[in-house]
């Protein structure tokens, strides 16, 4: 009887399981398949750019005629998130959440910027509320208005965008916070109200953080 020496077992773990031909193919696939680590730079870039664009859209909308820039930028940000996350990364659930977060972010980022900027950098001018009223916007929504006369005798007609809500009364002494650059309308506050609105700032920060995390997760765990 003739005897033959036993064939040595494959040393590569993938080859050992799949055999010579199939093992080489599987090993090549493992070696060439991109890992999640390689997805971090691009994912992080999108995760920062899209929320930043949403914040800029909200901020630009606070300036006169800034809506001409803010609205197209806002729509572009939301559409890009839907295309990249849903269409390219194939994460439909994350795309829906990211679009919702990016939709709400400018709505809070703009007022938060207006409040913080004028309260920290604005020039203080005393004034008196000469009249209050309401007006309707293009949607038919009724908004409060305040007519304020400052110490120099100048008259300012302010809206809710400048913090004129129903809590101001005729004859009430107020403070106008004027933009040092002269681009924003004066911001109306009560003399005792000089602290930034932490609620709006907190909501803005929360939406921005949630947007970054959602986009980053979707990018790193994207599907082919």
51-104 pLDDT tens trace: 999 999 999 999 999 999 999 999 999 999 999 999 999 999 999 999 999 999
- Residue 157 in any domain: the answer is yes
Do 104 and 46 sit in the same domain of this protein? Answer: yes
**Which of the four pLDDT bands, split at 50, 70 and 90, describes residue 31?**
very low
pTM for this model (two decimals)? 0.80
Q: What is the pLDDT of residue 107?
A: 96
CATH of the domain at 172: 2.40.50.100
Q: How many helices (H) and strands (E) does the chain have?
A: 6, 5
In the chain, beta strands by DSSP E: 123-136, 142-150, 155-159, 173-178, 187-189
- Residue 173 in any domain: the answer is yes
Q: What percent of the chain has pLDDT over 70?
A: 84
Do 99 and 42 sit in the same domain of this protein? Answer: yes
User: Residue 180 pLDDT > 50, yes or no?
Assistant: yes
CA nearest neighbour of 74 among 89, 90, 62: 62
Do 53 and 164 sit in the same domain of this protein? Answer: no
Residue 136 bridge partners (DSSP) = 142
Q: What is the pLDDT of residue 124?
A: 94
User: Residue 34 pLDDT > 70, yes or no?
Assistant: no
Do 105 and 203 sit in the same domain of this protein? Answer: yes
Q: What average pLDDT does the structure give for the chain? A: 86
**Which of the four pLDDT bands, split at 50, 70 and 90, describes residue 46?**
very high
Residue 145 bridge partners (DSSP) = 133, 159
- Residue 23 in any domain: the answer is no
Do 89 and 52 sit in the same domain of this protein? Answer: yes
- Residue 20 in any domain: the answer is no
Burial-class residue 78 by CB neighbours within 10 Å (0-12, 13-18, 19+). Answer: buried
- Residue 94 in any domain: the answer is yes
Which two tokens mark 112?
């938060």
Q: What percent of the chain has pLDDT over 90?
A: 73
Residues 6+ apart with CB under 8 A from 73: 53, 56, 57, 60
Do 103 and 45 sit in the same domain of this protein? Answer: yes
Residue range(s) defining the domain that contains residue 65: 36-110+199-220
- Residue 148 in any domain: the answer is yes
Distances (CA, A) of 28 to 4, 23, 38: 32, 8, 18
- Residue 175 in any domain: the answer is yes
Do 43 and 92 sit in the same domain of this protein? Answer: yes
When divided into structural domains, the chain yields a total of: 2
Q: What is the pLDDT of residue 18?
A: 43
Q: What is the pLDDT of residue 39?
A: 85
Residue 125 bridge partners (DSSP) = 176
Do 100 and 137 sit in the same domain of this protein? Answer: no
């Amino acid at each position: 009887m003739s005897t033959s020496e036993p064939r040595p077992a494959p040393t590569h773990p993938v080859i050992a399981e799949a055999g010579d031909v199939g093992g080489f193919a599987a090993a090549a696939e493992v070696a060439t398949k991109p890992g999640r680590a390689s997805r971090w730079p691009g994912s992080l870039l999108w995760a920062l750019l899209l929320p930043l664009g949403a914040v800029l859209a909200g901020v630009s909308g606070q300036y006169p005629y800034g809506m001409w820039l803010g609205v197209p930028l806002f729509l572009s940000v939301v559409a890009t998130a839907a295309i990249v996350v849903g269409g390219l990364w194939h994460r439909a659930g994350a795309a829906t959440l990211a679009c919702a977060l990016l939709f709400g972010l400018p709505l809070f980022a703009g007022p938060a910027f207006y409040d913080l900027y004028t309260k920290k950098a604005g020039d203080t001018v005393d004034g008196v509320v000469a009249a209050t009223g309401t007006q309707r916007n293009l949607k038919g929504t009724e908004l409060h208005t305040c007519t304020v006369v400052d110490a120099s005798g100048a008259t300012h007609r302010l809206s809710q965008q400048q913090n004129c809500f129903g809590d101001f009364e005729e004859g009430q002494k107020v403070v106008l916070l004027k933009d040092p650059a002269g681009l924003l309308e004066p911001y109306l506050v009560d003399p005792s109200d000089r602290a930034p609105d932490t609620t709006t700032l907190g909501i803005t920060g929360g939406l921005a953080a949630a947007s970054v995390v959602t986009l980053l997760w979707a990018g790193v765990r994207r599907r082919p």
